[in-house]
Structure 1
Amino acid sequence: MWQGVIPAVTTKFTPDDALDLKEMERCYDGLMQAGCDGLIACGSLGEGPLLSHAERIEVLKLAKQVAGHRPALLTVAEAATRDACVLAEKAAHAGADGLMVVPGTIYHSNHRETVTALRAIAAAGDLPVMIYSNRLAYRVDVTTDMLEELADDARFVAVKESSDDIRRTTEIIRRLGRRYDVLTGVDNLAFEALTAGATGWVAGLAVAFPHETVAIFRLIRAGRYAEALDIYRWFRPLLDLDVSTYLVQNIKLVEALVTQSNERVRAPRLPLDGAQRERVLAVVSEALRERPQLPDVI
């Protein structure tokens, strides 16, 4: 159902901390024009947990408008299952094409609790669901055993695999075949996951470098691995910025430098300063200096 490059988009703010819908529309449209295959709103990179439900629905509606016939998903990441179910219902009423669901964001649920929560959220929204498994950032590992247990509910259609263990992609496909679309959610493991059988990439740095991200995916799909790997090796220092406590600030700074957007974040986050900022500036400067010419690819 969901394949290709689907960026996890950033949320833009005005100087007075309101949603900057005009700037988001400009940025999201650039991703669609570059050939991305959908949008995921209000995830970790989109500062979803710092937005009200009303703000998240507003961002979703904009993403849906810009995505057109391509899917627009809302991230559901709530501490309480009750609140997650409410948000899932709101997303369905707002026209979401699906949900990306993060289990156990504050209380780190066990196997039984995780499966129960995921089932409840899927039932509340009654939409296709991408399960977000990220044991490092969220400390809840949605294991292959859990995916097998959830496979009896057709609403669970995909998994964003972010365990940081490339073996997990192979394990899911070996055990469950193509029951789920497996999308890689770790930018600096994307080549490895896509060549191991993942069918999509929930991408972070795509918000600043969509053409390169799309080229890597399409070259791999076409079996042109060497060309894809050349771009990926150039891209790696940038992709590493996604795997950080400061991924939001990192990537928003990259966006500001590359797409002339802004790097405003919602407190308690603050824009990067000092050595952290200088490091990102250096990575971007080198990347732009050595930016490759992309090959023709369908």
Structure 2
Amino acid sequence: MPDEQTMRGVFAVPTTPFDADGEQSIKVLLTGIDRALEAGVGGFLCLGATGEALALSSEEREAQIRAVVEAVAGRAHVVVGCMAYSPAEMTALIAQAKSWGADAAMITPPFYGGLEPDAAVAALRAVMSASELPVMVYNNPHSTGTDLRPEHLAALQDTGAFWSVKETSGEASRIRELRDALDESVEVFAGADGIAFEGFTQGASGWVAASAWLLPRECQRLWELCRDGEWAAALDLWNGLSSPLAQIEGSSAFISLIKQTLSRRGAEQGPVRPPLPTASPAEVESVLSAIAGMEGEGAHA
């Protein structure tokens, strides 16, 4: 298994493919895992929003993670989304993830309650202090109603389980502020695909990327160029890559958009489970056109 110190870089976020009967298709999922591994990604973040985690049964969750862990076979890290309303439930989900072979867990502040940051930090502290796995804290104010600023996250560094932050507030300088506020032992991941390049310029040590499930080679290459300080080449790549990423990121039906785009490119995903919205044909065509333009430019570079 990779050393814990290598838990950085691109972490692809898998979709959950469904077959014609509406059942999850582990076979299609593992085809995507192999494709991303060939591109060199550092890990996978399963059972997040993109994976439609809240639409899956406990049995489906377990089947998915056990299959992914077996397929990855130590070549990358497997992180499992363990989001829930109560700290006790999050703790139980982390223990499950460990029993399935996961390397780390991702949690958010308890959602729906609209907690003030201090209350959210107290809830996260209870989970992280008891965690059996390294923890990624996902700052997603849009979904949770709570924005965990750098000073709030810094207060969790003594829990012993704080591996990383997935940052998606959209604040222009937030990743730099996090890097300044947190110890070097805590990784900072760009969590919004549309600001990955900007995040790398501010010191992000990784990228949790739904787009890396769709375009793993390009996303991994961007990370490598930024990691190695090849900023001019990275910017050239980003100027092409950012167009399809921005369209996906800006859509309320982004999960459907990723799945439909993958299906049109030969990896049939099936639909999203209701009540998630379905992307329009025009949205799908626009993303496919942007990808084709990017790939055409790359062929002539």
TM-score range relative to shorter protein: over 0.9
- 2:227 matched to which residue of 1? 221
Deviation at 1:259, TM superposition (A): 4.2
Structure 1: 5+ residue stretches without partners: none
- 1:254 matched to which residue of 2? 261
Give the TM-score taking structure 2 as reference length. 0.91
Alpha-carbon contact 2:131-2:161 (below 8 Å) kept: no
- Counterpart code for 2:264: L
SS in 2 for 1:152: helix
Q: Distance in 1 between matches of 2:69 and 2:21?
A: 25
- Counterpart code for 1:210: P
Number of aligned residue pairs: give it: 293
| Aligned residue among 37, 42, 54 for 1:32 | 37
Taking only aligned residues, the RMSD between alpha carbons, in angstroms, comes to 1.9
Deviation at 1:149, TM superposition (A): 0.8
Structure 2: 5+ residue stretches without partners: none
Q: Distance in 1 between matches of 2:195 and 2:187?
A: 17
- 2:252 matched to which residue of 1? 245
| Aligned residue among 108, 113, 121 for 1:115 | 121
SS in 2 for 1:293: helix
Q: Distance in 2 between matches of 1:270 and 1:108?
A: 24
Q: Distance in 1 between matches of 2:115 and 2:62?
A: 26
Alpha-carbon contact 2:16-2:269 (below 8 Å) kept: no
Matches within 5 A, 1:265-284: 265-272=272-279, 276-284=280-288
Q: In the superposition, relative to structure 1, how do residues 80 and 135 fare at CA in structure 2: closer, same or farther (>3 Å)?
A: same
Give the TM-score taking structure 1 as reference length. 0.92
Matches within 5 A, 1:56-75: 56-69=61-74, 70-75=76-81
Alpha-carbon contact 1:100-1:129 (below 8 Å) kept: yes
Deviation at 1:232, TM superposition (A): 1.0
Deviation at 1:236, TM superposition (A): 1.4
Q: Deviations over 1:240-293 (max 9, x none)?
A: 112432111111112112343224211222533xxx321331231242144143
Q: Which moved more, 1:257-266 or 1:287-296?
A: 287-296
SS in 1 for 2:166: strand
Q: In the superposition, relative to structure 1, how do residues 198 and 206 fare at CA in structure 2: closer, same or farther (>3 Å)?
A: same
Q: Distance in 2 between matches of 1:11 and 1:124?
A: 29
| Aligned residue among 181, 190, 193 for 1:184 | 190
Alpha-carbon contact 2:109-2:123 (below 8 Å) kept: yes
Give the ranges of 4+ consecutive aligned residues of structure 1 lying more than 4 Å apart after TM superposition.
Answer: none
SS in 2 for 1:88: helix
Q: Distance in 1 between matches of 2:150 and 2:9?
A: 22
- 1:143 matched to which residue of 2? 149
- Counterpart code for 2:254: L
SS in 2 for 1:281: helix
| Aligned residue among 288, 291, 296 for 2:292 | 288
Q: Sequence identity, in percent? A: 28
| Aligned residue among 168, 172, 175 for 1:162 | 168
Q: Distance in 1 between matches of 2:80 and 2:250?
A: 21
